[in-house]
Amino acid sequence: MAKKILYCATVDYHFKAFHLPYMKGFKEQGWEVHVAAAGEMDLPFTDYKYEIPFQRSPYSLSNVAAYKELKDIMVRNNYDIIHCHTPIGGLIARLAARKPRKRGTKVIYTAHGFHFCKGAPLINWLLYYPIEKWMSHYTDCLITINQEDYQLASTRLKARHIEHVHGVGIDTNRFMPIAENKKVELKKSFGYKADDFLLFYAAEFNKNKNQEFLLRLLAAIKDSVPNAKLLFAGEGALLEGCREQAKSLGISHMVNFLGFRNDIQTIVPMCDIAVASSYREGLPVNIMEAMACGLPVVAVDNRGHRELVHNNENGWLVADNDLQFFSEKVIVLATTKALRESFGQNGRSMMLSTYSVHKVLQEINFIYAAYMKEGRELSWAIH
């Protein structure tokens, strides 16, 4: 009988965006791969997909129904491994897995950035920390994706094993720099001029991502860098508010709201720098993709950005309220092509050496191997 792994997350897009290489690896080794998440997306490398009514709000009654349904699925299928992701998906999955775990199922949880962290609001510590501390007792392996979370988990949480991996892995063959002539062609194909200076940020429009800071940045640099264009990829509740803010700042003609995109790997390489304004990050994929494409980065200082952006090496970190310093660094990059290229090369090298999907697959492979009954590693390859 084939061994089985269940992947759980709040929404199914999480797996399409971050975990297909790992699901593919299990399929190639003869495992049954099951997915439990909200959403109707068809996922490759998936034998069974259960549409579970997870809700992001921990107070939603729908999560009670999700817990009951997920518990029944786990009992019926007798999984060898359950690997859960996202705060709500991870919480409900670990609660539902308590009985299967007593029968030998191994439960792995990847924390993509604790909501409680240094500098986080007190309410985050009061709400999320007790829950995570409690749930760590029902976790065989807690995986963290940045050093700050790893240190916090090692000292405060009680999971049987705590590991650190370098994110979800970036496909550096898909996200890579392009030649200057190709960059010019792409800019023109998207309606930009060859000498437009493109700033890029991909993120959901919500309070944490803080896009309004970047709009104020653009207003601050528009006289010094009149050819600047700010590209936002993403959707969200605060999108329309940002459109209105751009109008009130008189910079609508310099901002493009691209919406949800499936061609990020084409857009990023034609841009000149990446900017990031979020208050909290675990290990941001948008920054890693930009670095893999050879873009320098200017980012608000937080634990995830600190892991990736090193001052005067591949970009700069800026205190979250220091608009003047952020503006100065963007202007320096806009007017110094050699520095952009040097920072970009350093960032690309970091992705290749540590954060590529090949490197992260090896790290995850090592962890999975410890929980596979046959005691051997998976032989995964990226095609």
Query: pLDDT tens digits for 236-285?
Result: 999 999 999 999 999 999 999 999 999 999 999 999 999 999 999 999 99
Q: What is the CATH classification number for the domain harbouring 147?
A: 3.40.50.2000
306 and 187 in one domain? yes
Whether 244 maps to a domain, the answer reads yes
Structure tokens at 148: 């700050």
8 A C-beta contact, residue 326 and residue 221: no
Least confident stretch, 132-146, 206-220, 361-375: 361-375
Task: Name the residue range of residue 11's domain.
Answer: 4-169+356-369
> Considering the chain, what is the average pLDDT of its residues?
93
- Rounded to 5°, the CA angle 51-91-110 comes to 90
249 and 134 in one domain? no
Whether 382 maps to a domain, the answer reads no
Whether 375 maps to a domain, the answer reads no
C-alpha 376/C-alpha 276 separation (Å) is: 41
Quote the number of domains for the chain. 2
**Which tens digits make up the pLDDT trace of 145-177?**
999 999 999 999 988 999 999 999 999 999 999
pLDDT at residue 219 above 80?
A: yes
Whether 383 maps to a domain, the answer reads no
Whether 214 maps to a domain, the answer reads yes
Tell me what pLDDT residue 380 has.
Answer: 43
pLDDT at residue 22 above 60?
A: yes
Tell me what pLDDT residue 373 has.
Answer: 59
Q: For residue 233, give the H/E element and its range.
A: strand 228-233
Which residues, 6 or more positions from 181, have their beta carbon under 8 angstroms from its beta carbon?
none
In the chain, the percentage of residues whose pLDDT exceeds 70 is 97
C-alpha 136/C-alpha 153 separation (Å) is: 9
**Which tens digits make up the pLDDT trace of 7-18?**
999 999 999 988
Tokens 């006289």, located at residue: 223
C-alpha 55/C-alpha 51 separation (Å) is: 12
pLDDT at residue 121 above 90?
A: no
DSSP character at residue 22 = H
Q: Where are the alpha helices (DSSP H) in 19-86?
A: 20-28, 62-77
87 and 35 in one domain? yes
282 SS3 class? coil
365 and 218 in one domain? no
325 and 196 in one domain? yes
142 and 242 in one domain? no
- Sign, CA torsion 270/274/275/280: positive
8 A C-beta contact, residue 122 and residue 130: no
Tell me what pLDDT residue 158 has.
Answer: 87
129 and 189 in one domain? no
Tell me what pLDDT residue 376 has.
Answer: 44
The distance of Cα 315 from the centroid of its chain, to the nearest Å, equals 19
**Which tens digits make up the pLDDT trace of 51-96?**
999 988 777 888 999 999 999 999 999 999 999 999 899 999 999 9
In the chain, the percentage of residues whose pLDDT exceeds 90 is 83
Reported pTM: 0.90
Tell me what pLDDT residue 264 has.
Answer: 96
Whether 306 maps to a domain, the answer reads yes
Structure tokens at 349: 């090298």
8 A C-beta contact, residue 274 and residue 285: no
Instruction: Report the candidate in 296, 300, 329, 295 with the shortest Cα–Cα distance to residue 317.
Output: 300
294 and 241 in one domain? yes
140 and 155 in one domain? yes
152 and 271 in one domain? no
Instruction: Give the confidence band of 381 by pLDDT, cuts at 50, 70, 90.
Output: very low
Instruction: Give the confidence band of 224 by pLDDT, cuts at 50, 70, 90.
Output: very high
Q: Which residue has the higher pLDDT, 126 or 306?
A: 306
8 A C-beta contact, residue 297 and residue 287: yes
29 and 12 in one domain? yes
Whether 270 maps to a domain, the answer reads yes
Which residues, 6 or more positions from 185, have their beta carbon under 8 angstroms from its beta carbon?
none
Tell me what pLDDT residue 378 has.
Answer: 44
DSSP character at residue 311 = B
Whether 175 maps to a domain, the answer reads no
145 and 133 in one domain? yes
Tell me what pLDDT residue 123 has.
Answer: 83
Q: For residue 228, give the H/E element and its range.
A: strand 228-233
8 A C-beta contact, residue 45 and residue 68: no
**Which tens digits make up the pLDDT trace of 304-348?**
999 999 999 999 999 988 999 999 999 999 999 999 999 999 999
Tokens 């596979």, located at residue: 372
